[in-house]
Amino acid sequence: MSDIELRLRDALAARAELVRPEDLTLAPDLEPGEPEPGAWWQRPSGYLLVAAIAVIVVVLPLLALAAIDPDGDKSPSDPATDPSGTFTMTDPVRTLVAQDKADVDGDSALDDVRVMSLEDPDAVLPDFDVEVELSASGESVSYQVGQARDVKIGATANLDGREGEEIVLALDADTVDLHRAQPLVVSLRDGELVSILTGDLRARGRPGSDGTRTYWWVHDGQLWWWRSQEPVADGEESPYAVEVLRFPREAMLRGVDHGTWCVTSLASTRLLECAALD
């Protein structure tokens, strides 16, 4: 062994004697710390959450399939169907029941007149209203007639002496002859449709309800109306007495007593003197 090797060995041995046990531990800043937690899906709790989501994704479609009728039909308890599967309409239905043309606003142009009904399944009778579409402006105005068995347009004429024509509505007509119905007169006033027939004739009783007869007609720009004094049998041809009202051409149509006359079923508007028939 050379002299250099001997001196190196002695130096290392001397150095080893100076090392103590506490010198063999790592410095605090060199000791390993706690491992980083990593992403959420790599944690144990993340695995549980992913598994729960997978169960929901699989189970929910199965539950939906179980709730569906195997035949693919709606349940009979569905309010939109009846037990036979037929669709049931429950909303009110608006229907056109009559239409005509008249110069309602007095501009010499014809306006569209329509009678509409609102059929409500929960109502005893339908609601009616009359609409007028003014040709000059295209604007629509309406009048609420209310509940009735039927409403038709009986006539259109200038009955109040003002500009424009009035609409005579025939209410609750029992026969094809609309003149045997109760009249309602509607007029355009200040941009609105209003009733101008004072003293509601319906208060005198519905035609035929007690066997008596009523009749209205338009003559010489005036509305006329009569009611029989006694019940009249169907097919009666003999003259019978009637109480007559005349409605002069005024802003509001008020009935004026025109006396007692006689008429026949074949000439309902021909007023005869009853005394001359005796």
Q: Which amino acid is at 144?
A: Q
* Cα–Cα distance for residue pair 101/167, rounded to 1 Å: 10
pLDDT reported for residue 79: 45
Tokens standing for residue 266: 């074949």
* Winning range, highest mean pLDDT, from 23-37, 44-58, 62-76, 145-159: 145-159
Report residue 60's pLDDT band, with 50, 70 and 90 as the boundaries. low
Report residue 84's pLDDT band, with 50, 70 and 90 as the boundaries. low
pLDDT reported for residue 208: 56
* Cα–Cα distance for residue pair 11/130, rounded to 1 Å: 126
Tokens standing for residue 79: 């309010």
Tokens standing for residue 146: 């209310």
* Local structure of 91: helix, strand or coil: coil
pLDDT reported for residue 183: 93
* Cα–Cα distance for residue pair 195/151, rounded to 1 Å: 15
Lowest mean pLDDT among 5-14, 178-187, 208-217: 5-14
Output the average pLDDT for the chain: 80
- What does pTM read for this prediction? 0.65
Element (H, E) at 44: helix 44-67
* Cα–Cα distance for residue pair 248/223, rounded to 1 Å: 7
CA 219 to chain centre: 40
Report residue 141's pLDDT band, with 50, 70 and 90 as the boundaries. very high
